[in-house]
Every structure is written in C-alpha cells, then in structure tokens.
Structure 1
Amino acid sequence: MSLPPILQNLRLPVMASPLFIISYPELVIAQCKAGVVGSFPALNAREKDGEPPMLETWLKRITEELDRHNQANPDAPAAPFAVNQIVHKSNARLDRDVELCVKYKVPLWITSLGARTEVYDAAHSCGGFVVHDVINNHFARKAIDKGADGLVAVAAGAGGHAGAQSPLALVSEIREWFDGALLLSGAIGKGDSILAAQAMGADMAYIGSAFIATEEANAVPGYKQMITEAGASDIVYSNLFTGVHGNYLKPSIRNAGMDPDNLETSDPSKMSFKLDESGEREKPKKWKEIWGAGQGIGMVKEVVPTAELVNRLEREYFAARARMDATGPKAANPGYARLSTAEAAAG
C-alpha cells in the first residue's frame, strides 16, 4: 500500500481538511473519535501578545483526550490527528509552531503555500508523516523533491484555496510518477465521492466543507445554515480575498455589498498571514464574513453532529461499493476476468 501504517486502519479513507477559523479542538477530537483523521491549521490557535502559546494548550488537550478515548475503547481507537502549517514568508509564527508540534510529536503534518525542507526534517524528527497540498503536477514534484512524504491534490471545486484542474487530470498526472500517499480534495461531500477518489487513483479523500455544517465546527450559525441551503452554482472562484484563488459562497459576498459575478482580481504578492495585535489574521473589515466553501456542499442538507456526518459518509461509501459490485463487469459476465498489466500490454 502507498499509505503508511498510521493511515491504514481508519474507519473510512478520509482526512478532514484544516479549516481556517472553523477547525478547533472540539471538531478535531470529534472527527478523530468518529474514525477519520481530524486536522486544524496551527494559526487557528491564537493568543494575545504576552500570553502563553494557545497552540500548546490545544495540542495538550487533543493528545490527552484522544489518549483517554483510546484507553477506554481499545477495540475502537480514535484516528490520528494532523496539524496544518502555512509555510509562507508572512507566517512569523512558523518556527515556533513547528517546535511545538515536534514537542508533542504530532503524528500527521500538512504543509501549505510553500515546501520547505527544514519543516519536513522537523516532522520526521518526531516520527511525523507529512503531506503537502498542491494544485498542479509542478508543485507536486517540488514538494516530494524537498522531502514531503505524501500529497494532497487540491482540484477544482475544493473549498478555500483551490486549484482549477479537473481531479481526473490532476490525479492521473501525479500517479504517472508518484506511488506514495495521495489524497484528493475537491467537491467531496458524499460517500460515493470517496470511492470515486480511490477509483481514479487516490488513496484517501480530503473533506472540508461538509464539516462546516456540524455542531462542533467553530462557525457562526449563519455560515452553517448557508452551507445547507447552497449548491455548486452558489460558489465563486476568486483570488480577491487572500491573493490566492479559492472558492467562496456567493451569498456571503453579496451580504458584504459586492457583486460575486464581477469581482476584482487581486495581486498575489499581497497575500499575507500576519496576525494583528489581538491575535486575529489581518483582513479588511468588509471581508470578515466572506465565507469559503467547495462545490460539494449540495450534498449537505442539515447541521448535524460530526459523528452523524461520518455515519452518513460511511453508509454512502459502502452502498456505492456494493452498487459497483452488483453492476460491474463481473456481475454482467460471470466469465469476465480482468487482464493483468502484462497481459494487456501483450495484447
């Protein structure tokens, strides 16, 4: 298998993506206990100047609570958790946050917006496994060359910062040369899509937007409700708000007094992950409630507990597998035999 042992015995082949502002310990712990990898951006853990690092408080809480769960449930242990590091020159906290993740031996690391060898070395020093998110094959090669263990292919339709390539094309190009751990992100809001991701060559699905509409998510009620009421046509792809292209909810843009169909283009050099004096990410006031989401939200109909969402995904995933078994070539023709690669090449 291309997956490391830590990712081979999950309830579902799913990693929950790190959601800016939204992924707090409550959500991460609920995701892990439900049997899928929970994650959060290190920059979500913010403190005011002079206060102890909130990231350390979070790591201690998550580690201890999952350990207690595992001791009480040896036959149904929690999935591991991941921390996302924004590897961008504007992130002044990166070195400190990396040190804390090493201290707490974070098992899974996700790196974004830059590939740096020293970050991968730090992760490996504590036994961590690192996946780097990419939007094209060029960045995928760079990340692996610099020491990343696996990749997250962020395809068209993914929430937040996203690429523009079809998942079919992106996964196929990466799989031509890379046989390591590969996750797929982009409009995955149903169990059927998890199976589809595996069918096209990915090992796991990387799901974000569906978890916004959960009880444990740190999102305001209006955001959660908008997710349940919107569909793919309510998503706009723009780089105005961060300097990097991403997908956002059109209704939230309208509520901010802008026309989502006529947005300006931003200068990528203005991208910044600096925090203000209160520990908040610097952002124009009028953009405070511009909400990100992917095209898969049409499958999200109500706000539910995280455990219930994972239950739904599991039911759909195994129903899709059963449906394929019942309607595939073997079912239609009992004499069907799949050719091996060598046999196919030989004609």
Structure 2
Amino acid sequence: MLKARTLPTVLQDMRIPAVAAPLFIVSCPDLVIAQCKAGIIGSFPALNARDEPGGPVLLEIWLKKITEELDRHNQANPDRPAAPFAVNQIVHRSNDRLERDVEICAKWKVPVWITSMGARVEVNDAAHSCGGIALHDVINNTYAKKAVGKGADGLIAVAAGAGGHGGPQSPFALVREIREWFDGPLLLAGAVSTGEALLAARVLGADFGYVGSPFVATNEANADPVYKEMMVKAAAEDVLTSSLFTGHPANYLKGSLTRVGLDPDNLPPDWDVSVMPDDGPLPKAWREIWGAGQGIGAIKSVGPAAAVVDRLEREYRDACERMREII
C-alpha cells in the first residue's frame, strides 16, 4: 500500500493525483476552468494575461472569470465541486510585472501559487497572506532545499522529459533525494502523460503527477491548430532539448523548428545560460518554437480537456488494479 501523506487542505480530495501544469501562451481561463471542473487543479502563468496598451488589466479579468465560474459550478454541483486553481509566477529578474501580479493574485486569494525561475521569500509570504500555498519548480536537490528554506510549502520536481524548461535528472534520482529530507507536498514533472505515469510518480514518492503536454491538444487550449495536430502525430523522438531560444535548456517539438526554417540537427550554438534573450533574431520560444514533453506519444487526438482527465483516471485506476494483482 502507498503511505498516505497529510497534505494541505487545498490539495486534498482530488479526483486523481494530477495537477495541470501552467503552459506558457497555451493555458487560458477556458482551459483552467475545464481542468478544475474535471476534478484536477488547473493552472496558468500570470504572464499569459497580456494587457493591450491602454486597456484593462487582463490578469484581473481572468481571475474574476475563473473565480466566478468555479463558484457557480460549485453551487450547482455541491456533490461534485471543482478543484482549486493555481497561478504561476515567473520570479526571474526579467519579469517586470512580478510585484503587480503578486498583488493582484493576493487580492483574488489565489489558492495555489506556483513559482518558477527563482525563489522569493516575499512571493511565498504573499501566497500565505491570502491563505494560499506556494509550490516551487526545482530541477535538483540543491534548489529544492533553497526553495523550502525561503518558505515554499511544496516542490515540483521537474525531471528529464518534461516539456518546456525541463531538468536533466532522472525522476528516480530526483524524487528519492528530495524525499530523504522533505515530507511536504511533492509533484513530479517529466513525461507524465498517462495514468500509469501518475501511479509511477506515487510509487516513487511524489503526491501528484504534473501533467502538461496532453492539455495542449485540447479544444480549450490557446494553441495554434497546427501545434495541436503536431502534438497528436509526434512521439518522444520528435522532442529536442536546446538552450538556444531562452538561454535555458528546454524541450521543443522538432517539427516546429522545421516549420520556421531551422534544421533541428544543425542549430546554431546555444546562448549563454546566464541570460534570457528576448529581442534576438531567432524565432520566439513558445510562440513559434513549440514546447513538448517526451510523453507526447500518449496523445492520440484533439478533444475536450475533460476527456484527457477521464483517460488519465481510467488508466490510473486500471494500473492500480494491475499492481494489486502483482503484489
């Protein structure tokens, strides 16, 4: 039997042990709402809410829409309430919106905060000030200890095979090292695209799997239709790791590079990893060069986000039954 761990209230009573990862550009209110209504935590990067010059603050509008729609759902379905939602804050020095966005998220009492590209005490404090919890992305044990030392309530272990900015370590090594000293909430990212992978994450010691790529190929996702179809047709061998486009190692679809005239097998030298190029001549990461994790072979069609959650639950329950037979 898997050892039960006492989790913060906001992370309890999930339909399955899965959290939807925040996908840059792709995640939007419609996708988050669909994920939460389907019974898993939905999330989006705060930077996805991009204001038009002179226009309203879009992050406020998004949080109002998500909060009110989930509240209506919960009132109409008291026996099947939606899961909570999360907002991802990029804490890197290049994010000149961070202070403003943190204030807005605290105002709207965002229940789950996900921080990436650095750890900040003041961001964790803001999450706690409104009753939320803070989960931090890490790619190794050293960063994990730093994040917890700065007040993170939980960790997201980003292992090899994760879409976007992924880590280089095997999940077998990364989760084990973190669990030797950390007993708080732990999520595992890295090719978690099936129910079997969710169960494997639990067996390793994680509380949740962090699911990203399958939600690109959904009706609600803010993704180019060509991107969605490319995700359906691709497999793990169609994913390439490169630091070229952001200055940090990330996993991309080879087909998206070919589409903009680049040769995946003959890319220019990588940028210095200490910088994050934003105005260079290369095609832009995420908008033109599309992220993907190595678990994309599980994506067979484009459809509703709820159907992805249904599939994950079915596969997870079946995998649990098989494990019971084995042990």
C-alpha displacement of 1:3: 1.9
Matching residue of 1:271: 276
Q: Which amino acid aligns with 2:299?
A: V
C-alpha displacement of 1:284: 4.4
| Cα deviation digits, residues 212-243 of structure 1 (max 9, x gap) | 00110000110000000000000001111111
Look up the SS of the partner of 2:173 in the other structure.
Answer: helix
Look up the SS of the partner of 1:58 in the other structure.
Answer: helix
C-alpha displacement of 1:261: 2.0
C-alpha displacement of 1:51: 1.8
Query: How far, CA to CA, are the matches of 1:284 and 1:179 in structure 2?
Result: 45
C-alpha displacement of 1:167: 0.4
Query: How far, CA to CA, are the matches of 1:3 and 1:215 in structure 2?
Result: 32
Query: How far, CA to CA, are the matches of 1:270 and 1:115 in structure 2?
Result: 17
**Residues 45 and 87, structure 2, Cα contact 8 Å, conserved in 1:** yes
For residues 54-69 of structure 1, the aligned pairs below 5 Å read 54-69=58-73
Query: How far, CA to CA, are the matches of 2:214 and 2:17 in structure 1?
Result: 16
**Residues 2 and 203, structure 1, Cα contact 8 Å, conserved in 2:** no
1:16 aligns with 2:20: yes
Matching residue of 1:160: 164
C-alpha displacement of 1:326: 1.0
Query: How far, CA to CA, are the matches of 2:245 and 2:216 in structure 1?
Result: 19
Matching residue of 2:326: 327
**Residues 2 and 179, structure 1, Cα contact 8 Å, conserved in 2:** no
Please identify, of 249-258 and 228-237, the stretch whose mean Cα deviation from structure 2 is larger: 249-258
TM-score (norm. length: structure 1): 0.90
Look up the SS of the partner of 1:133 in the other structure.
Answer: strand
Aligned length: 320
Matching residue of 2:192: 188
Matching residue of 1:37: 41
Matching residue of 1:292: 291
Matching residue of 1:343: none
Look up the SS of the partner of 2:69 in the other structure.
Answer: helix
1:303 aligns with 2:302: yes
| Cα deviation digits, residues 26-47 of structure 1 (max 9, x gap) | 0000000000000000000011
Look up the SS of the partner of 1:286 in the other structure.
Answer: coil
| Cα deviation digits, residues 1-35 of structure 1 (max 9, x gap) | 24211111010111100000000000000000000
**Residues 139 and 167, structure 2, Cα contact 8 Å, conserved in 1:** yes
Structure 1 stretches lacking a partner, 5+ long: 275-281, 329-347
Query: How far, CA to CA, are the matches of 1:113 and 1:286 in structure 2?
Result: 22
CA change 1:68–1:201 in 2 (3 A) is same
Q: Which amino acid aligns with 1:271?
A: M
Matching residue of 1:126: 130
1:26 aligns with 2:27: no
Matching residue of 1:89: 93
**Residues 155 and 186, structure 2, Cα contact 8 Å, conserved in 1:** yes
Please identify, of 60-69 and 49-58, the stretch whose mean Cα deviation from structure 2 is larger: 49-58
Q: Which amino acid aligns with 2:313?
A: E
Look up the SS of the partner of 1:19 in the other structure.
Answer: coil
Query: How far, CA to CA, are the matches of 1:268 and 1:57 in structure 2?
Result: 35
Q: Which amino acid aligns with 1:318?
A: R
Residue number among 150, 157, 164 corresponding to 2:154 in the alignment: 150
Query: How far, CA to CA, are the matches of 1:314 and 1:83 in structure 2?
Result: 24
CA change 1:14–1:94 in 2 (3 A) is same
Larger Rg: 1
Identical pairs, percent: 64
Matching residue of 1:341: none
Please identify, of 292-301 and 48-57, the stretch whose mean Cα deviation from structure 2 is larger: 48-57
Matching residue of 2:215: 211
Query: How far, CA to CA, are the matches of 1:7 and 1:91 in structure 2?
Result: 28
Q: Which amino acid aligns with 2:187?
A: L
Query: How far, CA to CA, are the matches of 1:270 and 1:135 in structure 2?
Result: 18
Look up the SS of the partner of 1:46 in the other structure.
Answer: coil
| Cα deviation digits, residues 148-187 of structure 1 (max 9, x gap) | 0000000000000000100000000000110000000000
**Residues 232 and 299, structure 2, Cα contact 8 Å, conserved in 1:** yes
Matching residue of 1:336: none
Structure 2 stretches lacking a partner, 5+ long: none
**Residues 245 and 282, structure 2, Cα contact 8 Å, conserved in 1:** no
Look up the SS of the partner of 2:301 in the other structure.
Answer: coil
CA change 1:204–1:304 in 2 (3 A) is same
Query: How far, CA to CA, are the matches of 1:152 and 1:51 in structure 2?
Result: 34
CA change 1:189–1:283 in 2 (3 A) is farther
| Cα deviation digits, residues 248-280 of structure 1 (max 9, x gap) | 0011111121121232211123315x7xxxxxx
Query: How far, CA to CA, are the matches of 2:274 and 2:192 in structure 1?
Result: 30
Residue number among 221, 224, 227 corresponding to 1:220 in the alignment: 224
